[in-house]
Every structure is written in C-alpha cells, then in structure tokens.
Structure 1
Amino acid sequence: MRGPLRMRALTAEEERVIGKLAHSRTASARLVERAKIIELAQKGQTIPQIMQQLHLSEPTVRKWWKRFELMGLPGLEDVGRPGTPRHYSDLDRAKIIEVALTRPANLGLAFNCWTFDRLTTSIQQQFGIAMKKTRIFEILHEEGLRWRQQESWFGERLDPEFAQKRGLLKP
C-alpha cells in the first residue's frame, strides 16, 4: 500500500457541510459515503482504517480524498458523463413543440384541438419527423405540455344509419 495522505484543514463551511452530509438520510448514498470518507480523514484516520470501516476499496478512498483536496466540496459531486449523442436535433424538438402549441385549424387541419394521437400523426406525416410516440411524449412532458384525451365518439360514426335509428331529438 501507498503511504498515508494528509488531510488539509477544512474551512468552517466545509466542516459544517461535510458533517451534515455524512449523517444525512436524504442526500444520495454516494454523496453520504464520500462525505464520510472526508469526515474520517479529518479525524485522523488512515486510508486502511477508512477502507475497513466503510468497506471500500483503496482506489475509491484515494479518489474521493484527492478530489476533495483539489476541488473542495464540488469535488464530491458526480462529474457529468458524455453518454450517447442525441438522435434528434434541437430543430426537431423545437418543431414538435411549435406544432403542439399551434392550433390545428391554423395548420390547415380539420379539427380544432390536439389529442396525442392526432399530434403524433401530424408530426410524423405532415412534418416528416420520424420519431416514436414515446419520444414525442417525453419531449412534450419535459416542456410541461399536456393534451386532451381522445374522445371515443369523435370522428365518423360506425353505424351510418345511426341518426335514422335514433330518431328525432326534440318532439
């Protein structure tokens, strides 16, 4: 094993935040674990002692110790990871939101309000954006947009003779 690391003196703010995070029940488990590493190091424990007490590996303890030394409290947070690139451009997302916020009649459609099915069909067919319904739903949900539920009676009647069978509405 490597030699012992020396923990720098914590500022009053760092000490307060580390103490609070190390015993938190609402912060993420990762953040609590990292704060415990720093708290134990501040109390003078060595890396092998911290490893044994927290059941962690040496590289893990050293990583968070060094990141805290270099960056302070922000060093305990997760660093963003690149992930996979987006499949759809910002222009596609903007077009979907624009269409959802526009009245269908203003787009030359025969109805006055959007339902989710009408909206996805228009986006896919009229605007040529090949996107799954679930992804369109996610984009709209991220923007806080909601839509009307599909009416079961909307559109053409299944029975063309319905009006005759029903009779007059008013005597």
Structure 2
Amino acid sequence: MPLRTAGPIAPSAAERARLKAMAYGHRTEHRLRVRAQVVLHAARGCSNARVAQETGLRLDTVRRWRGRFAEQGLPGLKDRQRCGRPPVFTPLQVAEVKALACRLPAESGVPLLRWSCPELAYEATRRGVAALVSASTVRRWLADDALKPGQRRSWIFITDPDFRAKAQRALDLYARTWQGTPLDADECVISADEKTSIQARCRCHPTPAPGQARAMRVNLTDGRGGALVHLAAYDVHAAKVYGRCEKTTGIDPFMNLVTQVMAREP
C-alpha cells in the first residue's frame, strides 16, 4: 500500500506572523510553541520526517498538528475540548451557595460579621445544600462570578408588583423566544439606551511624541465643546453595538438611532 504524502502548508502573511510570535515568544506555552514550530517547518517544504528530526517529536505527532493546521488553521493548534470528569455539584447547588454568600451571616444565626469560605462550606453542609463541599470549591465558585461578600455589599428593593412578568419577557427575548414561540433566524433582539451629559472635550494643544532626550509633553488644558448624548443599540445575540451622538434627547434623536439600526441587515 503506498504511503500518503503530506500536503503542502501555505499560511497567509497574518498567520505566518502569528506563528512566529507563538514559536519564538517568551510567554508562549511550550506545547503551543512546539506546534507552531512544526507548522513553520512544514511551510518551508520540509517533510514530516525532517520536521520530526528538527523538533525532536514523534512522526505521528508532527503528522497530527500538520494535518490540523491544514484543515482548521490556527484554531486547530489548540487542544480540543475534553469532556472531563462529570460534575459533582449541580448548578442549583452552586447557585444556592452563591446566594448564601450574598446574605449576612446574622440572617442564618451565625455569630459572624462576614462570611469566610470555610464558614460558607460548613453552613452549606449544615443546611443540606451539599453532602460535603470544601472551602477551596466554594472559593472557586465565588471567583467565577467575582463575588467578594466580605468586601462589598449591594442590594436593590424591587417595588414593581409586575416585575416578574416584565422580567420574563426580557429573559425570553434573550433566549430567542417570544410568547412561547422561538424567533426565526432572520429576527434579532436589540437593546437600546442612552447616556446623557457627556462632556465633549479635546486638547487645546497637540501632544508631541517622545524623542531622544525629550520626554512626552502633555498639555492639560481642555477645550470644552458642550454636553452630548450618546445613544447606543446592542444586538444581544450578534454582540454588535450601534452608536451615535446627539446634542439633545427626545424622540427625534432616538428615531435617528432606529433608522441607523434598521438600515443595516442583521
């Protein structure tokens, strides 16, 4: 059976620059550096055996990363997502621990001024949220949402009696559902808001670039151009922002934003 020859590798200029930065960068992970070197050797026309000899890798390893780059480009050099071990805790248990961290210890009858991760783990076990959870696991959960209950407290009291119904409509739109019917592929959800009284300022004198034996000089005198209004519309599913500045608020400036958004295909 004849051996299959390796296909040619022809990265673009941008890909070649990125590969060189990965192959010779001091902060690049070793595995990515080796994979980038494999692709660079292959782009010079080297055979798999020659690349394996130059990089000190096995022939199968060279063949794998060369083939992945030929099929997927730079994203193919990253590790594929692994299923890993099944999660021990359910999302509901994680949410209950986070909700407990956002409450005062006095509400649970604990004589503490603020929660610590070991105390949170003990309280979650005592309440039956989880059979056994460690302090390091609780610390990781809080770090995922940047929760620091011992350093910051915030709250909001919802006074609208129809808050649940109003919030349900917004959450359904974020999930691409309206009145129980999924949205079509050509329908998009736009969230719009305005930021008023933005000071329009500019430097009265330009800032010269630093040169030999000359520091950069910045003039702190600003020329004020009045207050502007920034209107923005955010496509929540395409992660795209449409923005414009107006002199005042009102229906006419908002309709200008609507016209700007509707004039483009989603």
After the TM superposition, which of the residue ranges 127-136 and 108-117 deviates more from structure 2?
108-117
Aligned residue pairs total: 148
Give the deviation of 1:140 after TM superposition. 2.8
Instruction: Flag the structure with larger Rg.
Output: 1
Pick from 132, 143, 146 the counterpart of residue 145 of structure 2: 143
Give the AA of the match of 1:23.
Answer: Y
Partner of 2:57: 56
Partner of 2:75: 74
Matched-pair contact (CA < 8 Å) for 2:9–2:42: no
Give the AA of the match of 2:125.
Answer: Q
Partner of 1:28: 29
Q: With CA pairs under 8 Å and 6+ residues apart, which has the higher RCO, 1 or 2?
A: 1
After the TM superposition, which of the residue ranges 123-132 and 87-96 deviates more from structure 2?
123-132
Give the deviation of 1:142 after TM superposition. 3.5
Partner of 2:194: none
Distance 1:118 1:75 in 2: 44
Q: How many percent identity over aligned positions?
A: 26
Q: Identify if the C-alpha distance between structure 1 residues 115 and 7 changes in structure 2 by more than 3 Å, giving closer, same or farther.
A: same
After the TM superposition, which of the residue ranges 63-72 and 131-140 deviates more from structure 2?
131-140
Matched-pair contact (CA < 8 Å) for 1:116–1:147: no
CA deviation string 1:64-86 (max 9, x = no partner): 00000000010011111110110
Distance 2:12 2:58 in 1: 27
Give the unaligned 5+ runs of structure 1.
Answer: 149-171
Normalised to the residue count of structure 2, the TM-score between the two structures is: 0.50
Give the deviation of 1:111 after TM superposition. 4.8
Distance 1:10 1:137 in 2: 43
CA deviation string 1:3-59 (max 9, x = no partner): 431323221111111122121221111111111011011111111111111111111
Distance 1:147 1:63 in 2: 47
Give the unaligned 5+ runs of structure 2.
Answer: 151-266
Is the helix fraction higher in 1 or 2? 1
Distance 1:144 1:64 in 2: 37
Is the strand fraction higher in 1 or 2? 2
After the TM superposition, which of the residue ranges 40-49 and 128-137 deviates more from structure 2?
128-137
Distance 2:62 2:45 in 1: 14
Q: Which of structure 1's runs of 4+ aligned residues deviate more than 4 A? A: 108-112
Aligned-pair Cα RMSD in Å? 2.2
Distance 2:5 2:116 in 1: 64
Give the deviation of 1:129 after TM superposition. 2.1
